[in-house]
Structure 1
Amino acid sequence: MDDALIDSIVIDALEKGLPPGIGPATIREVANLGIRVLSDDIPLPLLVLRQSALDHNSAWMTSFLELTGTSLAPHGKTSMSPQLFRRQMADGAWGMTLSNIHQLKVGRHFGLKRIVLANELVGRGAIRYVLEELEKDPEFDFFCLVDSSTNVEAIAELAREKGMTRPVQMLVEAGIAERRAGCRTLDAALDVARAVSRNAPYTALRGVEGFEGVVNNPDPARRQEAVTGFIDFLCEIARRCEDEGLFADGEVILSGGGSAYFDIVASRFGALKLRQPTRTVLRPGCYLTHDSHMLRNFMAEMKARRPDLAALGETWRPALEVWAHVVSRPQPDHVIVGLGKRDASYDAGFPVPFAMCRPGRDSLPVALEGKHVAIEMNDQHLFLKVPADSSLEVGDMIGFGISHPCLTLDKWRFIPVVDDDYVMVSAVTTAF
């Protein structure tokens, strides 16, 4: 990736989370200010990333890949952060996954060379953009998903008109009824695969893909059964495509794996034996940041499914925290915090209070016991039910874990990275 371009991103003086009187400044200049969050040097609310948790999560994922023989193309739509993209690629990611043309443009702007578009490439303008990128950069390794012969023909037609000498590489997408995109039956998947093959050399069938994260059942055992059945369905599509000689030359890519069931994906794809070499590509987007509720529960289920993962040590740690002030305590059991829906996700549960701090130069966080519970959230405020004898006062700082990183990160363009004393050691930006 383009280090100079990433390090020269300018943070505007009006950016949320930046102290007054600072900026515009480059991301490198801001990161060197040595700001200490818990001494109230920076306006709240504030989203931060814990450096130690990022390091731990990255190391754990690397160990998982080595254990399972899989490759990683993390879903960049989670963070849309060029600094985190760079870290993931430096950590050995095979490529990066993105979802739409805006995200693809961001990735290309900052120098990503291998991208999986985990979506159908639809629309003449979008197709032309991809073709132009392929034409001008021989090192650009691009893959898109297809679940429609009509879509395959549209891409091939524009590639033919342009006289492309490189094919658009495609993965047949299979899906689950009533959920996201993807072929619902084996026959439908094979029809699409045949369309990709017959439009060579303008298109090339490189593999099979699905997203098992849409499986939804309150019973973990039933979810596991459904996910396993879905991945086995993808395996059957791959077998039939190979039997018919539909795959292009080279390795066959088998891809799946959100942030909840990638262990099952690795296991089932790893057991598939094809004549052509295969590569299992996992696409978890949230492993680096993790969270304090939804993903934590998924990881607990994974540990129960795979006791052997205990050899990798502690699983992911929450790296994302939002800190906010107590702005009012109008009743003994009722605290109002300056943190709202514009600052943190709430679709998968309210933020989880885990620590408090009375600001000061040498202040450190103190754990909050579990009777402090978020009960309501407005645009700018969060309401806590607290014990009547809680020590919280107006002006105190509360640290919150979040549930679902994707819809917290998109609310911030500037995010400090802090050490375990909450001193800013670097920073990241986002481009949603």
Structure 2
Amino acid sequence: MDDRELHAHLIGQQGSRAALNTPVLVLDLDRLDRNIAAMQAKADEKGVALRPHAKTHKSVDIAHRQLAAGAVGICCAKIGEAEVMVDAGVAGVLITSPVAAPAAINRLAKLAPRAERLMAVVDNPQVASVIDDQLARIDATLDVVIDVDPGIRRTGVASPEAAVDLARTIADCPRLRLRGLQFYCGSQQHIEDYAARRAAIEERTRYLRDVIGALREAGFPPEIVTGSGTGTHAIDLELGAFTELQTGSYVFMDAQYLDCDLDGSGEAPFETSLAVDARVVSANHKGLVTVDAGFKSLSTDGGSPQVSSGAPPETVFAFMGDEHGALVGSDIGDRLRPGDPVSLVVPHCDPTVNLYDHYHVVRDGTLADIWPVSARGRAR
């Protein structure tokens, strides 16, 4: 049975979160909406646009809530995510990973004429020319931004000179319109210490300003400078180099970001809205019980999940295989019994969300709705 068959009858029943079949992805609606409003307010205060990254939530429902709160659009990591969002009426989509494979370029060209305010990044002159040729075949146009490598050598042009060369190629492509540049410092997002993260971003911002200056001098002043993330949003807003932010994980706040001092205050500026609810399935040992959430229910790239309720806060989670996890703690086998519920803060929200078909949206412990993870698995 799928999630709706299992749980639709619980919608609106008071306290029905406790009756959900586990493991289950749970989203607190009030916390989600407060997070959306808080980030939008931060951007509005500085006069910066917000284009949140949907690779985090992969949800049409959440994207519409972000747009309603004032976002100018959303970001998608892949063409498949963008297709889902565009088909659901989401405007202002920016595809933040280069689209380079022939089949993907063909899909991008077909998406362009039916997508309102679609943009894509490019980091290679030859690819830009191929995209332009494909657009010409169907008489379509596309806005693009130059992806600039912030130093991690994943994607992006590698120097200010390369950015200028690519801008000149784009200018010679009649179907492409250059709007600006993208600069995403992914490796700096999870530096836990605020001062260290700020120093790293200040250094990278100096380089970003060099790229912007080179483009301006060459006659290609960027209208849009897009980037940043949840980990550096406060610093980037203060430094003022970006015209828009691509923050994503702020809507959920996973364990990785809870470990970071995001704004120098020592307090989390956003609330934890996402959880995986599990249940104890075995409790035959004094210092350990087993729950029904393992590798198939929680991402592993961000460490282990944190216990948020159902067990003492000092309880340690350890993966025990595909289907199971262990909760380790003094006398925990005497305190918890099979069937007892436990709620977990996910280690890394993006890949954890991709393990599930639906969000179980709750308010005050009651199941309020079931939303599809609309772009789940759209990795191409």
Above 0.5 in TM-score?
Answer: yes
**Is the contact between residue 18 and residue 43 of structure 1 (CA under 8 Å) also seen in structure 2?**
no
Q: 1-side partners of 2:145 and 2:234: how far apart?
A: 21
Shift of 1:318: 0.5
Which structure: larger Rg?
Answer: 1
Shift of 1:235: 2.3
For residues 31 and 180 of structure 1, do their structure 2 counterparts lie closer, same or farther at Cα, with a shift above 3 Å needed? Answer: farther
Matching residue within 70, 74, 98 for 1:92: 70
Matching residue within 354, 360, 370 for 1:427: 370
Question: Root-mean-square deviation (CA), in Å?
Answer: 2.4
Deviations along 1:126-169, whole A, 9 cap, x unmatched?
Answer: 2233333333x3x62111111111111111222334444x3x21
2:298 corresponding residue in structure 1: 344
Matching residue within 202, 205, 219 for 2:175: 202
Matching residue within 109, 116, 122 for 1:146: 122
Matches of residues 169-318 of structure 1 in structure 2 within 5 Å?
Answer: 169-199=143-173, 201-215=174-188, 221-247=195-221, 252-268=223-239, 270=240, 280-291=243-254, 293-298=255-260, 300-304=261-265, 315-318=269-272
Shift of 1:397: 0.9
Q: 1-side partners of 2:211 and 2:306: how far apart?
A: 42
For residues 301 and 237 of structure 1, do their structure 2 counterparts lie closer, same or farther at Cα, with a shift above 3 Å needed? Answer: same
Matched, 1:353 2:327: no
2:30 corresponding residue in structure 1: 52
Q: 1-side partners of 2:206 and 2:286: how far apart?
A: 55
Q: How many aligned positions are there?
A: 373
Matching residue within 41, 44, 47 for 1:66: 44
Matched, 1:400 2:344: yes
Q: 2-side partners of 1:173 and 1:92: how far apart?
A: 25
Matching residue within 350, 361, 367 for 1:417: 361
**Is the contact between residue 194 and residue 263 of structure 2 (CA under 8 Å) also seen in structure 1?**
no
Matching residue within 344, 358, 379 for 2:322: 379
Matching residue within 96, 110, 129 for 2:88: 110
Matched, 1:36 2:10: no
Shift of 1:176: 3.4
1:3 corresponding residue in structure 2: none
Aligned-partner SS, 2:26: strand
Q: 1-side partners of 2:52 and 2:166: how far apart?
A: 26
Q: 2-side partners of 1:417 and 1:217: how far apart?
A: 31
Shift of 1:38: 4.9
Deviations along 1:174-212, whole A, 9 cap, x unmatched?
Answer: 11344420122111121111211222x321211011111
2:59 corresponding residue in structure 1: 81
Q: 2-side partners of 1:354 and 1:54: how far apart?
A: 17
Q: 2-side partners of 1:103 and 1:301: how far apart?
A: 28
User: Sequence identity of aligned pairs in percent?
Assistant: 23
Deviations along 1:33-88, whole A, 9 cap, x unmatched?
Answer: 5363454x321112211122112212211221122211111111111111111111
Aligned-partner SS, 2:279: strand
Q: 2-side partners of 1:217 and 1:297: how far apart?
A: 9
Under a length normalisation based on structure 2, what TM-score does the superposition of the two structures give? 0.90
Aligned-partner SS, 1:108: helix
Shift of 1:218: 7.1
For residues 96 and 372 of structure 1, do their structure 2 counterparts lie closer, same or farther at Cα, with a shift above 3 Å needed? Answer: same
**Is the contact between residue 192 and residue 259 of structure 2 (CA under 8 Å) also seen in structure 1?**
no
**Is the contact between residue 84 and residue 428 of structure 1 (CA under 8 Å) also seen in structure 2?**
no
For residues 263 and 90 of structure 1, do their structure 2 counterparts lie closer, same or farther at Cα, with a shift above 3 Å needed? Answer: same
Q: 2-side partners of 1:174 and 1:429: how far apart?
A: 33
Contiguous gaps of at least 5 residues in structure 2: none
Amino acid paired to 1:212: C
Amino acid paired to 2:180: G
Aligned-partner SS, 2:335: coil
Shift of 1:19: 5.8
Q: 2-side partners of 1:377 and 1:302: how far apart?
A: 35
**Is the contact between residue 40 and residue 71 of structure 2 (CA under 8 Å) also seen in structure 1?**
no
Amino acid paired to 1:108: V
Contiguous gaps of at least 5 residues in structure 1: 1-13, 23-28, 273-278, 357-367
**Is the contact between residue 37 and residue 424 of structure 1 (CA under 8 Å) also seen in structure 2?**
yes
**Is the contact between residue 169 and residue 203 of structure 1 (CA under 8 Å) also seen in structure 2?**
yes
For residues 327 and 145 of structure 1, do their structure 2 counterparts lie closer, same or farther at Cα, with a shift above 3 Å needed? Answer: same
Aligned-partner SS, 1:303: coil
